[in-house]
Structure 1
Amino acid sequence: MSWEKSVRRVTPYVPGEQPKDKNIIKLNTNECPYPPAPKVRELISGLRYEDMRLYPDPEASSLIKALSGYYNVPEDQIFVGVGSDDVLSMAYLTFFNSDNPILFPDITYSFYDVWAELYKVPYKKIPLRDDFTIDFTEYYGDKQPNGGIIIANPNAPVGIYEPVSKIEDVVAHNPDSVCIIDEAYIDFGGESALPLIKKYDNVLIVQTFSKSRAMAGMRIGYAFGSKKLIKYMQDAKFSFNSYTMNRPSLELGIAAIEDDVYFKETCNKIIATRERVKKELSALGFTFPDSKANFIFAKHDKLTGEELFLALKNAGIYVRHWNADRIYDYLRITIGTDEEMDKLISFLQKYL
């Protein structure tokens, strides 16, 4: 058919499987195993259904004000979107328009090259070291002329956190490029690079409510940057879709921010479970990088990743596996509740 010649063809991002059976132990999409904050539950019953006929605030002013107060960042330096995926996609559209390739690791969030293909942005994958750490010198602008940089920290799916000093080193060596730091997992064990926005006008820090705030279903993401960066993103957003954040998400997002005690308790529970499970997996012969996220990226020397993935799935335990170079034998295991992780360990003990 002649019209197909003009179709923009891309290989889409493939998310983790969403099983319909509620009895499945779901450890494959890095969702929080605990419910949203109690204040979110309280507010849900009070949402005015008649207001659903009205458009939401296109500027998301109330949510931005709440984020501003919590993070002590001026409101005009905050951008919000429908999950961090929406924020990152808009950042690609806004900032990555050079003939030079953007740079990101060869093992990282697999949406990065999908957006590059979709927006026709040239890109280059920089190999991680053998231990899955990032060689930041490979991102220096004088060594690798580029049209932008995106780095996840902690990096997914490996879970390794890099200190802010190394992030700043990359930003400082790329004054002519926008550097995006994807901090989807920062609340599980690391220092945010947020202070860098006060020192550099070319760095964008992206975070999300989907992981540590247990609100993946509400789709709330946000970014911090210089006033100029945020203004450019807002202009692109309002040229694309003005009403991206729905009314319930705006209101429930504020409630989640206000319940800070619950937020920190939940993060600490996940961290404690993660550290316990690391020891138990090590005792079973698994090896893995030292994760600072809400997942563990593990392999077993005596079994392939595919075999373990299928065995776990048959037992009703879903984890993530990629049929990809360098990581074929690894499984990404989301940290669930203590009960869920006990069942995982119990199955592995019997299977091995």
Structure 2
Amino acid sequence: MKEFWSRRIVDAVPYVPGEQPKGRTFVKLNTNECPYPPSPKAVEAIAQAAGESLRLYPDPGCLELRRAIAQREGLHPNQVFCGNGSDEVLAFAFQAFFDPDREIVFPQITYSFYPVYTNYFGLTCRQVPMHPDFSTPVEELMGKNGGVVLCNPNAPTGMGVSRDVVEKLLQANPNVVVIVDEAYVDFGGESSVGLIDRYPNLLVIQTASKSRALAGLRVGWAMGNENLIQGLCCVRDSINSYPVDRLAQAGAQAAIQDEEYFAQTCQKVVATRAHTVQRLKEMGYTVLPSQANFLFVSHPDKPAKALLDGLRERGVLVRWWSNPAIENWLRISIGTDEEMDTLLSALKEL
């Protein structure tokens, strides 16, 4: 029943987030959350911000948070935009920089929110088929388009491309915006932030949800030429001038400034990833090379959907898609060593 729905949404196919289970306790390896808690300094900053000042609106421009990000990345605060999670920042960017009569391009197997945004905002896109090994067909994203979106490292494959490849992409698309979604870059990818001052059409988007363990806080940011940042501000202030609340700004700022804790967390995830890859390969699984906090896994004799269901029965959640191109693959988030041991034990039973 869709009575009173607008024409814009009556046929919309929305994004389906990973399951957030209630009731039963699971080993949760389905939504790429950090297996470790946030920085204690972030938790303390949130607690300190939870006072009388909550009666006041937050800083709409997130100035102190932008300063912290800019200082870390060697940018000016005017080259940084903050939003309510990187998904919101991506949505603002699709509205700010892409036009309905100019086809945007992105890989066919990538973050599934991109086609949702495309359809919802009345845009058109061309989804480029992957290479047989699931590597990104960067050469097919060069030229004759109205914009490019590249998830690097890619989701759900976990595979990344180098900054040199991104630079070639920018050189081939000088007149359109190239968005590089770096949600997972801190786990082994190569960031393109260093190219911002040379390419005014580059927008790099990152998040506090993964490597800084703040998925529940909802903070993301974009970095780019000041002109692009002003475009994002225009969209924001046409929808909601206060997308990042006081607690989120305080917690994210503290997390970004706690470089030691951030580095330790990433190192633990990378070490567990390497150990898990080795164990899975010994069990006969194919595992794509990952620069993210998850693995993309398949088995030649065991259907992925059956593995998904069998793992759930054993209290382990992973992610599966019915897309024919990847229907025999599972995306498995990297948990703690203990959680991954539970996963591996469950897989041995299947």
Point out where structure 2 has 5 or more consecutive residues left out of the alignment: none
Q: After the TM superposition, which segments of 4 or more aligned residues of structure 1 sit over 6 Å from their partners?
A: none
Is the 8 Å Cα contact of residues 286 and 299 (structure 1) preserved in structure 2?
yes
Give the SS at the match of 1:270. helix
Is the 8 Å Cα contact of residues 188 and 294 (structure 1) preserved in structure 2?
yes
Alpha-carbon distance change, 48 to 331 in structure 1, aligned in 2, over 3 angstroms = closer
Query: Is 1:99 aligned to 2:101, yes or no?
Result: yes
- The TM-score with structure 2 as length reference comes to 0.97
Higher deviation after alignment, 234-243 or 206-215: 234-243
Question: 1:161: which partner in 2?
Answer: 160
* CA distance in 2 between partners of 1:140 and 1:23 (Å): 46
Question: 1:234: which partner in 2?
Answer: 233
Return the letter of the residue paired with 2:344.
Answer: I
Query: Is 1:306 aligned to 2:305, yes or no?
Result: yes
Question: 2:262: which partner in 1?
Answer: 263
* CA distance in 1 between partners of 2:328 and 2:88 (Å): 31
| Identity fraction in percent | 43
Higher deviation after alignment, 232-241 or 313-322: 232-241
Is the 8 Å Cα contact of residues 98 and 147 (structure 1) preserved in structure 2?
no
Q: After superposition, give the CA deviation of every residue in 1:4-56 in whole Å (9 maximum; x if it has no partner).
A: 57353310000110011362100000000000001012223323432111111
Give the SS at the match of 1:199. coil
Alpha-carbon distance change, 58 to 285 in structure 1, aligned in 2, over 3 angstroms = same
- The TM-score with structure 1 as length reference comes to 0.96
Alpha-carbon distance change, 288 to 38 in structure 1, aligned in 2, over 3 angstroms = same
Which of 120, 125, 128 is matched with 2:127 structurally?
Answer: 125
Query: Is 1:327 aligned to 2:329, yes or no?
Result: no
Is the 8 Å Cα contact of residues 49 and 246 (structure 2) preserved in structure 1?
no
1:3 positional shift: 4.9
Q: Let me know the Cα RMSD of the aligned residues.
A: 1.3
Give the SS at the match of 1:239. coil
Point out where structure 1 has 5 or more consecutive residues left out of the alignment: none
Note the 1:159-198 alignment, pairs <5 A: 159-198=158-197
Return the letter of the residue paired with 1:88.
Answer: L
How many residues end up aligned between the 2 structures?
A: 348
Is the 8 Å Cα contact of residues 151 and 182 (structure 2) preserved in structure 1?
yes
Note the 1:1-40 alignment, pairs <5 A: 3-4=4-5, 6-9=7-10, 10-21=12-23, 23-40=25-42
Alpha-carbon distance change, 269 to 242 in structure 1, aligned in 2, over 3 angstroms = same
* CA distance in 2 between partners of 1:157 and 1:69 (Å): 31
Alpha-carbon distance change, 46 to 22 in structure 1, aligned in 2, over 3 angstroms = farther
1:70 positional shift: 1.3
1:65 positional shift: 1.0
1:140 positional shift: 1.5
